[in-house]
């Protein structure tokens, strides 16, 4: 089914953007014990897709990705981290096979992809003129995505899990002072597995980037659990010397 | 100074390659205590550059990067790992400012970059028709590189150092069984610092991916040091579960 909107966009993209290069965003959202991903639905609710777009002729790629996220989702001020570029032949071309060959979207595109991790209660997705829906979807319940977007999402999750080992991922997802239970829930949601509490505690303390706080959290009926915070100075130092 | 070779290449690239996308390779070479990088010299010995090139219209980006390395250096069978894509406006365009505006090279290019780590005694660089020299240069003595190639090289080194924390980097750079001194030399060369032997030993044993061998190395006058090898099964398992 040929969409007039796609044909019109094609003309505009040829005039304003760099052909053959697209950007895609994998936005992970965490809250409480849930890990979700931000997905768009296009073509009258048929197809799920990662929020993505194109790079303007005079725009840095790192800026394009921020603009695209803002345009497609309304989300602003999200720190996006580049994690991979996807460049196989026919990764996206076939999706537009019903269209004329000079359609912008039907050219070969290489996608430079970014991920972010945010508190999903702070981002309210906005459906724009290009999408029929924009939703937070649980990572355990991802529908089929178009083109190679499932591979892009899987790779993003792999990189995020890998970085849990050596970066204080989630620094922006927890209160400034948090309990080890809260930290464990975050790690469990990202890794998709239950962790043994004792092992988790030993492992995470070995990182050497947590400081125990003297404060207590008010309001609970039971004895307040210990609170921790990230040691920012030590973290930055450890990234420099890579803990050697 | 306009080069006839560049003008001729421009025509060929327009006919066969995808515009706006280039690939660049950062090939690290290790041997004994030295870490080097493979660099090309172009334009009659004036300019140093990373070995790079373009992606053919029907070629996966991951295949292009292997072909480019082979063409430019003669090196084959090197495992290349993508680490970043560089997409700032004017990262390369200005380098060709003396040329006509329709020159292939003068268009805006986004570079997807790869790195590899090899034993430099096993790769003999071959100068090809595009370069005047191809050399292993010590990482402590890198000359100024053209365009943004110094940034690309620095980022590659940063990623390599980061990965030392959680990947058995250098698996292909050591004999199958090696002494801890040999392993320490490799880490010191990559990190560019001297390590305390005791700390190094404790840290590296904590990774849990080294096995002590029953073999001894023959030929030395002194007591043979213990030999170790990487525990491949455990390594692959640890990458899957990320050691949790």
- Could you read off the pLDDT of B72-126 as tens digits, one per residue? 777 777 888 999 999 999 999 888 999 999 999 999 999 999 999 888 888 888 7
Beta strands in chain B (DSSP E): 17-31, 34-42, 47-49, 52-56, 81-86, 110-119, 133-138, 210-212, 228-230
- Chain B residue numbers touching A82 (CB-CB < 8 A): 84-85
Q: Return the pLDDT at A197.
A: 92
Nearest CB neighbour to A58, from listed B89, B110, B244: B89
Structure tokens at B240: 């899957």
- The Cα A229–Cα A180 span in angstroms is 10
DSSP A208: -
Chain A contacts in chain B segment 160-179 (CB below 8 A): 161-162, 164-166
Q: Return the pLDDT at A235.
A: 65
Q: Return the pLDDT at A145.
A: 95
- The Cα A16–Cα A133 span in angstroms is 26
Whether the per-residue pLDDT at B2 is higher than 80: the answer is yes
Q: Which residue of A has its CA nearest to B65?
A: A87
- The Cα B35–Cα B118 span in angstroms is 10
CB pairs under 8 A between A and B: 94
Q: Return the pLDDT at B189.
A: 92
- The Cα A58–Cα B106 span in angstroms is 14
Torsion angle (degrees, nearest 10) of CA A8, A10, A12, A13: 160
What is the phi/psi pair of residue A193, to 5°?
Answer: -140, 160
- Chain A residue numbers touching B193 (CB-CB < 8 A): 244
Report CB contact under 8 Å: A89, B59. yes
Between B59 and B133, where is the model more confident? B59
B236: left (phi over 0), alpha (psi -120 to 50) or beta: alpha
Q: What angle do CA A98, A104, A108 make, to 5 degrees?
A: 85
Report CB contact under 8 Å: B60, A87. yes
Are B104 and A79 a contacting pair, CB within 8 Å? no
Our CA-based measurement puts residue A87 at a distance from the nearest CA of chain B, in whole angstroms, of: 5
pLDDT in tens, B140-190: 999 999 999 999 999 999 988 887 766 767 777 888 889 999 999 999 999
Report CB contact under 8 Å: A18, B164. no
pLDDT in tens, B12-48: 999 999 999 999 999 999 988 899 999 998 877 688 9
Q: Return the pLDDT at A53.
A: 94
Question: Any chain B CB within 8 A of the CB of A80?
Answer: no
Between A111 and B206, where is the model more confident? A111
Between A11 and B204, where is the model more confident? A11
Whether the per-residue pLDDT at B242 is higher than 50: the answer is no
Question: Any chain B CB within 8 A of the CB of A18?
Answer: yes
Q: At what angle do helices B197-206 and B180-191 cross, to 10 degrees?
A: 100
**Cβ partners under 8 Å of residue A45, min gap 6:** A132, A133
H or E stretch covering A202: helix A197-206
- Chain B residue numbers touching A108 (CB-CB < 8 A): 18, 57
Q: What angle do CA B54, B55, B61 make, to 5 degrees?
A: 125
Beta strands B17-31 and B110-119, pairing class: parallel
ipTM above 0.90, yes or no: no
Report CB contact under 8 Å: A191, B243. no
Q: Return the pLDDT at A72.
A: 77
Q: Return the pLDDT at A129.
A: 67
Q: Write out residues in chain A with pLDDT < 50, as ranges.
A: 240-244
Closest among A139, A156, A140 to A148, alpha carbons compared: A156
Nearest CB neighbour to B166, from listed A57, A82, A165: A165
Tell me the mean pLDDT in the region B44-57: 90
Whether the per-residue pLDDT at B244 is higher than 70: the answer is no
Our CA-based measurement puts residue A149 at a distance from the nearest CA of chain B, in whole angstroms, of: 17
H or E stretch covering B11: helix B4-16
- The Cα B106–Cα A115 span in angstroms is 31
Closest among A165, A241, A205 to B195, alpha carbons compared: A241
């Amino acid at each position: 089914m040929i969409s007039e909107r796609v044909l019109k966009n094609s003309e505009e993209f040829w005039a304003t953007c760099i052909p053959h290069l697209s950007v895609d965003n994998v936005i992970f959202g965490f809250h409480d014990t849930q890990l979700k991903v931000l997905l768009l639905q296009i073509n009258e609710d048929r197809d799920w897709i990662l929020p993505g777009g194109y790079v303007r002729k005079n725009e840095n790629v790192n800026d394009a990705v921020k603009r695209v996220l803002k345009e497609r989702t309304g989300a602003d001020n999200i720190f996006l981290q580049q994690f991979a570029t996807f460049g196989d032949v026919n990764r996206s071309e076939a999706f537009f096979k019903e269209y004329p060959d000079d359609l912008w979207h039907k050219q070969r595109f290489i996608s430079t992809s970014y991920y972010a991790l945010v508190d999903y209660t702070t981002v309210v997705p906005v459906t724009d003129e290009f999408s029929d829906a924009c939703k937070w979807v649980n990572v355990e319940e991802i529908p089929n995505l178009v083109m190679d977007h499932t591979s892009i999402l899987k790779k993003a999750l792999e990189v995020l899990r890998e970085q849990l080992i050596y970066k204080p991922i989630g620094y922006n997802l927890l209160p400034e002072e948090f309990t080890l239970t809260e930290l464990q829930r975050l790690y469990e949601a990202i890794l998709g597995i239950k962790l043994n509490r004792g092992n988790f505690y030993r492992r995470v303390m070995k990182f050497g980037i947590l400081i125990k706080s003297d404060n207590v959290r008010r309001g609970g009926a039971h004895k307040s659990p210990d609170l921790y915070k990230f040691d920012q100075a030590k973290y930055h130092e450890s990234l420099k010397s890579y803990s050697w």
